[in-house]
A = this chain, B = another copy of it.
Amino acid sequence: MAFSERVSRLKSSLIRDILAAAQRPEVMSFAGGLPAERCLPAVDWSQLPAGLGQYGMSEGEPALREAIAAQARDYGLDCTADQVLVTTGSQQALDLIAKLYLDVGTPVLVEGPTYLAALQSFQFFGADCLEVSLTPEGLDLDALRLRLQERRPAFAYLIPTFQNPSGVRYSTANRAAVAALLDEFGVTLVEDEPYRELSYDGAPARPLCAQLQRSAWIHTGSLSKTLLPGLRVGYLIASPELLKPLRALKQAADLHTCRMSQWQVLQWLGSERYGRHLQEVRAFYRERRDGFAEALTRHFSELADWQIPQGGLFFWLQLKTPLDTRTLLDAALAQDVAFMPGEPFFAEPDRHPGLLRLNFSHVLPERLDTGLARLADVIRDATPTYKEL
């Protein structure tokens, strides 16, 4: 069986295996990034126009593109509907971006850690992913400058708002400095903001793309975290010079995104009802986050360090005694607990042991203590320091 060379880089997805294991109802899963069932709104299809059955435009429905552009302008990103491309989930935006830029060996600048599925998609297309470390304030600016002086990446892939997995929110000063550096070196920015609306402590900052003077940019977003992931509606907004090839790539990928889904999203985006829904979702997740933080303090204070995320769906734990957290998975699953090891979120996994990502939105509060206590026990059992005590 002769597959393409790139298939040799197609990783059997760890996420996929973990999520499959976490399907068992008895499993307490801290692994995924699924919205809580309680946060999925009931939607009404009764007004769906009949005309949407026909083929649609590759760019997306004009009215939805307008609404997405209007929302982006509210965020502070100056753009028109022409610059919007509706995608089949924001995952598809990553696929289109990879096709647009990547040959084998093309350098791409990524955060360390970064979103696992983006890393996998870029590496699948042959990218050489150059990591720049995150600090609690955003990107490590000295490291960023050094990286850019060494090699010119095809683009920088950044998640400045409630970064996945770390939860980091780039500060205002850090955003300005990163934008200036990307402009200085003429590096294209891909800014991924799926968690932007899941903000629990004040409004999110202006997109980094909006602060560029010179570099090309692609801003991506999703309705999966705030509305319904099953609709598969995401989008990208790009600087004008990128639109023509991106549209052709979208057409080649799936012609266009489901028009009924696009219509449904349009019923929400920018509406008062959507505003109320977002308020409720934020309040719900804020409470879950705070409860999770308290439970973490009870069970993990001696084991790990963490920051309280101001948005998104994850805590990012650094073990005090680093060990390869991938080796903990089987023991955790045997105790009906699932989590995401931290190593795969790095371009060089083996250099970053001792981190793990815990989702706080999914496990019911009444099962939280049981789940975290079991996970803490699994970590203690695997840690030499504790074994010796």
Residues of chain A touching chain B, judged by Cβ–Cβ distance below 8 Å, are: 1-7, 10-13, 16, 32, 34-35, 37, 40-43, 45-46, 48, 50, 52-56, 58, 87-89, 91-92, 95, 99-103, 106, 117, 120-121, 124-125, 154, 216, 224, 228-232, 241-242, 244-245, 248-249, 251-261, 264
Central interface residue in A120, A230, A231, by most chain B CB within 10 Å: A230
Chain B residues with Cβ below 8 Å from A11 are 248
- A88 and B254 contact, CB distance less than 8 A: yes
Central interface residue in A4, A100, A117, A154, by most chain B CB within 10 Å: A4
A5 to B259, CA, bound (A): 32
Additional A-B contact list (14), CB under 8 Å, known A16-B248, A32-B55: A1-B216, A3-B100, A4-B99, A5-B103, A6-B103, A12-B248, A13-B251, A34-B54, A41-B53, A53-B228, A88-B88, A88-B232, A95-B253, A232-B257
- B4 and A103 contact, CB distance less than 8 A: yes
- B56 and A230 contact, CB distance less than 8 A: yes
What is the chain B residue whose CB lies nearest that of A43?
A: B53
- Known A89-B254, A124-B252: A48·B45 in contact at CB below 8 Å: yes
- B92 and A251 contact, CB distance less than 8 A: no
- A3 and B261 contact, CB distance less than 8 A: no
The 10 residue pairs across chains A and B that have the minimum distance between CB atoms: A45-B45, A53-B228, A230-B259, A88-B254, A258-B258, A40-B53, A55-B229, A92-B254, A232-B258, A53-B230
The copy count of this chain in the complex is: 2
A41 to B42, CA, bound (A): 25
Chain B residues with Cβ below 8 Å from A54 are 34-35, 37, 40, 228-230
Taking the nearest CB of chain B, how far is it from the CB of A192, in angstroms?
A: 15
- A254 and B232 contact, CB distance less than 8 A: yes
Taking the nearest CB of chain B, how far is it from the CB of A66, in angstroms?
A: 18
A251 to B17, CA, bound (A): 12
- Known A3-B100, A100-B7: A95·B252 in contact at CB below 8 Å: yes
- B232 and A4 contact, CB distance less than 8 A: no
- B88 and A4 contact, CB distance less than 8 A: no
Chain B residues with Cβ below 8 Å from A124 are 252
What is the chain B residue whose CB lies nearest that of A19?
A: B55
- B258 and A231 contact, CB distance less than 8 A: yes
What is the chain B residue whose CB lies nearest that of A233?
A: B258
Chain B residues with Cβ below 8 Å from A41 are 53
- Pick the residue among B13, B125, B260 that contacts A261 (CB under 8 A): B260
What is the chain B residue whose CB lies nearest that of A242?
A: B1
- Known A2-B154, A244-B12, A245-B10: A255·B91 in contact at CB below 8 Å: yes
- Pick the residue among B53, B106, B261 that contacts A4 (CB under 8 A): B106
- B1 and A99 contact, CB distance less than 8 A: no
- A229 and B53 contact, CB distance less than 8 A: yes
Chain B residues with Cβ below 8 Å from A257 are 88, 232, 258
Central interface residue in A42, A232, A241, A244, by most chain B CB within 10 Å: A232
A365 to B337, CA, bound (A): 65
A32 to B261, CA, bound (A): 24
Central interface residue in A89, A102, A249, by most chain B CB within 10 Å: A89
A116 to B314, CA, bound (A): 45
A50 to B230, CA, bound (A): 10
